[in-house]
């Protein structure tokens, strides 16, 4: 997990960090559309094809992307700390997906 700001540029640099790992992830989860755009740009520059080589999932309803991004709209809840995604996060700031839309950004 990379903690970053909710911008395209920060999504790009976070994706560079993740996709440069020796054990590269097969999916990237972003908090918003702008971060997802940054992740798509990183994937393209590294020669990765979405969704063949990398799945991209956004945690908001995609409204600004031309790619049909898969989404998991957030809902207030306890899933973050329970899953170890956000150790130490206050419960009121944790989110859990309440529904999902699998589109062309995932296989």
Q: What is the pLDDT of residues 63-95, one digit of tens each?
A: 555 555 455 555 544 444 444 455 555 444 444
pLDDT score at 81? 46
C-alpha–C-alpha distance, residues 84 and 40, integer Å: 26
- Does residue 97 register a pLDDT over 50? no
The whole-model pTM stands at 0.62
- Ordered domains of the chain (ranges, CATH): 8-72 (3.40.50.2300)
Among candidates 99, 88, 100, 102, which has minimal Cα distance to 3? 88
Among candidates 62, 28, 32, 31, which has minimal Cα distance to 42? 28
């Amino acid at each position: 997990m990379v903690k970053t700001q909710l911008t395209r540029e920060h999504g790009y640099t976070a994706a560079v960090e993740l996709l440069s790992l020796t054990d590269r992830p097969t999916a990237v989860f972003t908090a918003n559309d702008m971060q997802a755009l940054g992740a798509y740009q990183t994937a393209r520059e590294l020669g990765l094809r979405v969704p063949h080589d990398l799945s991209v999932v956004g945690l908001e309803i995609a409204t600004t992307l031309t790619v049909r991004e898969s989404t998991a709209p957030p809902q207030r809840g306890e899933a973050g700390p329970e899953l170890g995604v956000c150790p130490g996060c206050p419960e009121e700031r944790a989110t859990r997906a309440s529904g999902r839309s699998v589109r062309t950004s995932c296989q």
